Amino acid sequence: MSCFSCFSSHDKKVSRRGCRKEQLPISPPPRQPSATPWPPPPPEERHKERVAVETAATPAKNYSNNNQRDNNVPKEQGGKNIVAQTFTFRELATATKNFRQECLIGEGGFGRVYKGSLEKSGQVAAIKQLDRNGLQGNREFLVEVLMLSLLHHENLVNLIGYCADGDQRLLVYEYMPLGSLEDHLLDLRPKQKPLEWFTRMKIALGAAKGLEYLHDTANPPVIYRDLKSSNILLDSEFNAKLSDFGLAKIGPVGDKTHVSSRVMGTYGYCAPEYQRTGQLTVKSDVYSFGVVMLELITGRRAIDTLRPIEEQNLVTWALPKAKDPQRLAELVDPLLHSDYPARGMNQAVAVATMCLNEDPSARPLTSDVVSALSFLWQAPAKTANSGTLPADSPLSRQDVGVEGHGRKGSINNRQKAVAEAIEWGSNSRLGNAR
């Protein structure tokens, strides 16, 4: 999880390096002082933190009639509420075989992540242990428990529970068997099969749907602020779920156009206006999504200092090629071996470039990105000429009613129209820029 300021790229993963090269930041700015007080707070303050955690995981009805609280936390959607379980440290130590190295599956700025089996239910879970030496860990812990206790969507990782015994802080999530997008795109092991094109678009769609929920359904809206390939987790069927909500922030409400925040995130993914001013909007997340789209298209890291200087920053390397229709093929990951639809690739590049617009107001809405990708992720064999959608399509499960194939066909046509409009709009803007 990103918990260092000034975009330091700090994710430390268990070594799974293969064909891809290690990501390092390009001369990141010096680290700013942490906002977390030092020395650590006295025992009575730690007690307050634990009370805050317990309050975060209580049913949403406790907040519904409190106007002040309503302005600071997202409301539970649809009247549903899933109360996070509380675990003792002993229970989680047992689940992870006393946090043995063999159970370690990841490591980041927050701490270490272990795979464990919960004794009472037998459920396999991912257990994240806070690094007690991390100056910002408690703050992120509180934010994540609060956010994931109130926000529930199929494209957000599910929080099972937490532990706040003494000075121990742990989070318990559903286990995602395929790990992160980074594991399959940027950290390929020898002989590991690269992601196919339509699988990449499926993952992009899932991540976009998670953002759409945070931006359009959560009330007030939530700015994720840490979208990157290592925070997109995958289930056994490559369905994507957003994880690590420690940097999430409540978005602007009422007549406010933005929220101000100390600049935090991961170098290479943050929107330029946020870097310059510290002003956050949901369009800041849209920019980060554009970077992830470029990673999916190119198979390159957002920042890679092991490449030649002119290729180290993915956005600055890719955008000139995206402006030239004759050079679009240069963007595609060579591991795809030209096995991709040319038109679909063009439209995916168009979505990415629109998301990466320097002007936040010119970036597309997350809902429009979802509409475009809902069409782009489907292989031609699935769409055929009948206008129907595959049975496992997100549209067939969620957006399509019971009105017959005509309804399905009109939805499919809308996806095409949105994708083509985004492609046309991107090419038009790029042409004017030249």
CA dist., res. 319 & res. 306, Å (int): 20
Q: Are strands 259-260 and 240-242 parallel, antiparallel or unpaired?
A: unpaired
Tally of CB atoms within 10 A around 421: 16
Question: CA geometry: angle at 370 spanning 364 and 381, to 5°?
Answer: 130
**Residue ranges per structural domain of the chain:** 43-174, 181-433
Establish whether 128 is an annotated binding residue.
yes
Per-residue pLDDT at 411:
52
Positions annotated as catalytic residues are 226
Per-residue pLDDT at 256:
81
Which CATH number is 181-433 given? Answer: 1.10.510.10
CA dist., res. 387 & res. 406, Å (int): 8
CA dist., res. 322 & res. 315, Å (int): 10
The tens-digit pLDDT sequence of the chain (434 residues) is: 444 333 334 444 444 433 433 333 333 444 333 333 334 445 444 444 444 444 444 443 333 333 333 444 555 444 455 578 999 999 999 999 999 999 999 887 678 899 999 998 999 999 999 887 764 567 778 888 988 888 999 999 999 999 999 889 999 999 999 999 999 999 899 889 999 999 999 999 999 999 999 999 999 999 999 999 999 999 999 999 999 888 899 988 877 878 888 888 888 999 999 999 999 999 999 999 999 999 999 999 999 999 999 999 999 999 999 989 999 999 999 999 999 999 999 999 999 999 999 999 999 999 999 999 998 987 775 544 433 334 443 333 333 333 334 444 555 555 555 555 555 555 544 454 45
Task: Give 43-174's CATH code, choosing from 1.10.10.10, 3.30.200.20, 1.10.579.10, 3.40.50.2020.
Answer: 3.30.200.20
Q: Where are the alpha helices (DSSP H) in 6-100?
A: 43-56, 61-64, 67-70, 89-95
Per-residue pLDDT at 255:
75
DSSP conformation letters of 287-307: HHHHHHHHHHHH---SB-TTS
Per-residue pLDDT at 400:
31
Q: Are strands 240-242 and 232-234 parallel, antiparallel or unpaired?
A: antiparallel
